[in-house]
Amino acid sequence: MADMPSGFWSGWIIALTLSSLAGVAWLVWSIYYGRDLQEESEVEPVWDEDLEEGHNPPPLWWFWMLFGALIFTLVYIMLFPGLGNYSGVLNWSQGKRVADSYEDFQANFAEARAEVLNMSLVEIQNDLDLMDTAERLFRRECSACHGPDGRGQANMFPNLHDVDWQWGASAEQIEQSIRGGRNANMIAWQAILGDEGVEQVADYVVNLRQGVDESHPGRAMFQQNCVACHGMDGTGNPALGAPNLTDNIWLYGGDMDAVRETLQQGRFGVMPAFGERLDDMQIKLLIALLVR
Ligand code: HEC
Ligand code: HEC
């Protein structure tokens, strides 16, 4: 109630609450004790010859129950917020309760947190409970994109359990992927290479893993346009997120149709940054889960 816009509304609510309580008290009282004051001369209606309205008051336990509820209400609004801006003798508030439990939580877990931050990744990996926590965290934060088991999905979100890391497999590189996110940037080549060029380079890329003849018609174009990012031999460059094109692990697909589409449209995969959303311990747990 502390955020009432003005004292008027607070006063209004206090008046309303107190007068309702007084009204209820009067009602209860009058049912049981006001009766004597009623004039006996009142004529009771009679129906069907002998059906009269009863004179019995409701049972007395009823009176005590209502009376008890009234006392309880009064005590309650003295102790807790309930009367307009009045915050109650105990000074209880929902916000304060949340803050208190947050402090409790911090105090209880600060130690565990610090402990995890001091452990090595291997130690974390050998602790089944911690790995359980890491997996739960992964399911909650990452599985919508990377799949529940982290094996990727939809030719769009990479498998995080294979040997191929676009942005690098070291703990530092994985940390950077999680903390800062990643923006892959591979422009569309249609306008530069033309239909025939795309066809030839795509064929070159598709055959790269089996070794391509020096005389392949796409080779010159690949050397000219692609090696800056994907490397002379096509094995990629983690600093740019340029994937290895010589293995059989593909994000968007390694058959002719998929590679053609990659070249025609370009690819711009986005891994969102989690540095703000997760704390250091959570990020460390996730690294332990992913790194080998
Ligand atoms: C500016 C750097 C850059 C250049 C130049 C570049 N690429 Fe890429 N390429 C990337 C990046 C980064 C990705 C990853 C895109 C993503 O993850 O969304 C990528 C992805 C790809 C993929 C998809 C791989 C997969 O796993 O599905 C193919 C195929 C590819 N590039 C081929 C080429 C070819 C062929 C050329 C030359 C015509 C080329 N790239 C030029 C940076 C580059
Ligand atoms: C909104 C979807 C989305 C969510 C959520 C997401 N990711 Fe990603 N992540 C991606 C995409 C897309 C890429 C690939 C970016 C690219 O094309 O290079 C990626 C790439 C990565 C990479 C780099 C992979 C490589 O091969 O180098 C890591 C590591 C990673 N994610 C970890 C995580 C973790 C851990 C979480 C949970 C905290 C997470 N991701 C949540 C979409 C997501």
Span 138-188, pLDDT tens digits = 999 999 999 988 888 878 899 998 888 999 999 999 999 999 999 999 999
- 45: Cβ contacts below 8 Å, ≥ 6 apart: 52, 53
For a ligand 2 pocket test, name from 175, 229, 249, 271 the mutation site with the most ligand atoms within 8 angstroms of its C-beta: 271
- 274: Cβ contacts below 8 Å, ≥ 6 apart: 141, 178, 179, 181, 283
User: Which residue's CA is the nearest one to ligand 2's atom 21?
Assistant: 271
Q: Mean pLDDT for the chain?
A: 87
User: Which residue's CA is the nearest one to ligand 1's atom 43?
Assistant: 186
Distance CA 29, CA 94 (A): 36
Distance CA 250, CA 2 (A): 58
The residue with greater pLDDT, 281 or 49, is 281
* Structural contact between residues 272 and 181, judged by C-beta atoms closer than 8 angstroms: yes
**Look-up of token digits 């979100």:** 157
Residue 202's pLDDT is: 95
Residue from 96, 171, 138 nearest 146 by CA? 138
| Ligand 1 centroid distance, CA of 113 (Å) | 40
The residue with greater pLDDT, 163 or 122, is 122
The residue with greater pLDDT, 263 or 2, is 263
Q: What is the per-residue burial (b if ≥16 Cβ within 10 Å, else e) of 36-67? A: eeeeeeeeeeeeeeeeeeeeeeeeeeebeebe
Residue from 135, 165, 163 nearest 150 by CA? 135
Residue 87's pLDDT is: 83
pLDDT class of 248 with cuts at 50, 70, 90: confident
Amino acid code (one letter) for 143? S
Segment 62-74, tens digit of pLDDT: 888 888 999 999 9
Q: Evaluate: CB of 251 within 6 angstroms of ligand 1.
A: yes
Q: Which residues line ligand 2 (CB under 6 A)?
A: 141-142, 144-146, 157-158, 160, 165-167, 174, 177-178, 182, 184, 241, 269-272, 274, 286, 290
Residue 42's pLDDT is: 58
* Structural contact between residues 240 and 167, judged by C-beta atoms closer than 8 angstroms: no
* Structural contact between residues 146 and 289, judged by C-beta atoms closer than 8 angstroms: no
Q: Say which ligand is closest to the CA of 257.
A: 1
Residue 5's pLDDT is: 63
pLDDT class of 212 with cuts at 50, 70, 90: confident
Residue 271's pLDDT is: 95
The residue with greater pLDDT, 227 or 86, is 227
